[in-house]
Structure 1
Amino acid sequence: MNSLRPAALSAALSAAFPAALPAAPWDALREPAVRDLAWLLFSADLLRAQPPVGMLASAFETADELNATLDWLHALDADPLDLQRDLASARLTRLGRYAECLLGWFLQHGPAARLIAANVPLRRAGLTLGECDFLVQTQTGRRLHWELAVKCYLHAGAGRAQLADYVGPNLQDRFDLKLAHVLDHQLPLSAREEFASLGHAGPWEPQMFIKGWLFYPHGETTDDPAQIDPTHTRGWWAARSSWPAFAADHAQAWRILPRLEWLAPRRHEAGAAEAAGLAFVEAGALSERVAHQNGPTMVAAFHLDDAGRWVERSRGFIVPDDWPQKAQAFARQ
């Protein structure tokens, strides 16, 4: 049995959510971590399948599992204390580790596939060859090896359609290099001879679980490379000198997004946001806050909806004026 692929997943979601209800499964959820988990499960993949090795993971095999997961998420949203405690005990600082904890929670407690093992190291002669992110068994008995990544890349190629033009904000990561590492190193780990000695009986089907956001220069049109899923989640980026003109009429308020808020679009009850000390500011004040940042800063535009909630309208990076030239040079290395 094949897992739900994007077209089937979209059809199942359309049936689950009538037109009068929110289009995205996370829209009706209040708890940030539960919204992030829903986004991780339901948001579009960044990549198309890359056969024969790079097949795409799906959290669901059937529409029944998908609908059961929606019900489970709403129940978790109503009583998130155990999830909150688990995340707090992990002392999370990295986005990738946060995503691992969320997906691991779903595999341990959710109504679909089950976790066999996580972060399984593979060693030979005392040397670590790599680590398998998740070993998973579906309800139909398929045994899957998932490699998870959550990435935020900015397109720096001035209109080119090459995967190398998608670069990390700190210019230490590039999408083509990341994909090559996943396909050539991470996914084949579970098929190596050394892996059979670890006690996790296979064979394992390797799949990539790659989610995130891709950010494009504001006001420019860019063709996507063939490897990228055209339905992927998008944002924008703008240089500091050009951002104020764009920002002036774009939103009522802005926030700098800390790294652990880079998954689902944010939504804050107005009273809870004030109690938590969240700073919503006008565009001019935000410009002052990012003026002395050494690198790109992710920000989100918010508006107040009719229920008095701050709802994210869009997100993007404000980058130093010399960053685009450095990014293009890094893309061509």
Structure 2
Amino acid sequence: MMNGIRPAALPAAAPAAQWDALCQPVVRDLAWLLFSADLLRAQPPVGMLASAFETSGELAATIAWLHALDADPTGLQRDIAAARLTRLGRYAECLLAWFLQHGPTARLIAANVPLRRAGLTLGECDFLVQTQAGRRLHWELAVKCYLHAGDSRAQLADYVGPNLQDRFDLKLSHLLDHQLPLSARVEFASLGHVGPWEPQMFIKGWLFYPLGQWQWQRHERDEPAGEPAEIDPAHARGWWTTRTDWPAFAAGHAQAWRVLPRLEWLAPRRHEPGAAEAEGIAFVDALALNERVAHQNGPTMVAAFWIDDAGRWVERSRGFIVPDDWPRKAQAFARQ
């Protein structure tokens, strides 16, 4: 245990999620991918939402399958390690593909199917899936982390990527106008994957809000006002704050902190007693973390941890610490 940290009662938690009882990080990430709230509401007629199960029986079978996998995750861990992943999106793709190949519900027909015309690549379909009921689905998967740029406007353009190279409105437009229609194009029929295919979007992730806005949202029971109509109000939420403002918040918010590597951006983190030390994971106090992020050029995702009654490190919240000039740049990027 880190010097100076004493066990304390974990803050009141939300109702247990399907991944809370799972121990293995890779299995928790897979469960989060399957069960976490979508970032978006359905966008008919093209942008319908994907689901990994069609019936209550399939849902129950998936939960039982995940618990069995948690008891023996060797195959999943081996395949993920062999893939040598560095990008969050590829990690999510591998997890979902593994579920479709080994899980109890829908069956994977093909993944990453390129569509070409006259030697030019028009696009790539992420997943072609057949359900147990015989439906043939075209899934487009994305896992996104966007920060609200701090403006009060209820527009998707206000949600920007931490490195200001991506924006939620542009991502949705690309999904609806380009990616999801790929399987309905005339050229697609020549690939041998007999349709018709129902396009669906599998969009997961976290949206991060300015610290004061996030603190208000935590106590708001109704649907928060001012959010774009496209966004599912049940989406996963985090916070962001500048380096100058972060220490005042950090002082009383956690027993310890961690910088979250990119491949740990899916499920809330939880570390069993002794597991963090065995894996070389270091928990630090707010002062040490502040010194570390001071040398980062861009936003850094961090997580706040408490120790629960079982001696586990449990994530309390997560957020981005951003350079002091980032909010101004983010608002300019949102208005481009």
In which range does the TM-score fall when normalised by the shorter chain?
Answer: over 0.9
For the pair 1:136 / 2:120, whether they are aligned, the reply is no
Equivalent residues of 1:37, 1:103 under 8 A apart: yes
- Partner residue in 2 for 1:64: 57
For the pair 1:330 / 2:333, whether they are aligned, the reply is yes
TM-score, normalised on structure 1? 0.93
Tell me the alpha carbon deviations over residues 59-95 of structure 1, each in whole angstroms, 9 at most, x when there is no partner: 1100000000000000000000000110011110000
Shift of 1:270: 2.9
Question: Matched residues in 1 for 2:271 and 2:80: separation?
Answer: 20
Shift of 1:264: 0.1
- Partner residue in 2 for 1:230: 233
Question: Matched residues in 1 for 2:119 and 2:80: separation?
Answer: 32
State the aligned residue count. Answer: 313
Match of 1:261 among 236, 261, 264: 264
Equivalent residues of 1:114, 1:138 under 8 A apart: yes
For the pair 1:245 / 2:238, whether they are aligned, the reply is no
- Partner residue in 2 for 1:175: 168
Question: Matched residues in 2 for 1:157 and 1:303: separation?
Answer: 28
Shift of 1:169: 0.2
For the pair 1:116 / 2:119, whether they are aligned, the reply is no
Root-mean-square deviation over aligned CA pairs: 1.1
TM-score, normalised on structure 2? 0.92
Equivalent residues of 1:157, 1:331 under 8 A apart: no
Equivalent residues of 2:150, 2:331 under 8 A apart: yes
Shift of 1:229: 0.3
Question: Matched residues in 2 for 1:139 and 1:309: separation?
Answer: 39
Question: Matched residues in 1 for 2:16 and 2:244: separation?
Answer: 35
Query: Which ranges of structure 2 fall in alignment gaps of 5 or more residues?
Result: 1-13, 217-224
Equivalent residues of 1:22, 1:28 under 8 A apart: no
Shift of 1:157: 3.7
- Partner residue in 1 for 2:3: none
Question: Matched residues in 2 for 1:285 and 1:88: separation?
Answer: 31
- Partner residue in 2 for 1:30: 23
Query: Runs in 1 of length 4+ with deviation above 3 angstroms?
Result: none
Secondary structure, counterpart of 2:274 in structure 1? helix
Secondary structure, counterpart of 1:197 in structure 2? helix
Equivalent residues of 2:150, 2:209 under 8 A apart: no
Secondary structure, counterpart of 2:212 in structure 1? coil
Tell me the alpha carbon deviations over residues 206-253 of structure 1, each in whole angstroms, 9 at most, x when there is no partner: 000000000000013672100000000000000000000001000000
More relative contact order in 1 or in 2 (CA 8 Å, sep 6+)?
Answer: 2
Question: Matched residues in 2 for 1:232 and 1:239: separation?
Answer: 23
Question: Matched residues in 2 for 1:320 and 1:185: separation?
Answer: 34
Shift of 1:22: 6.5
Question: Matched residues in 2 for 1:293 and 1:159: separation?
Answer: 28
- Partner residue in 2 for 1:12: none
Shift of 1:149: 0.1
Percent identical: 85
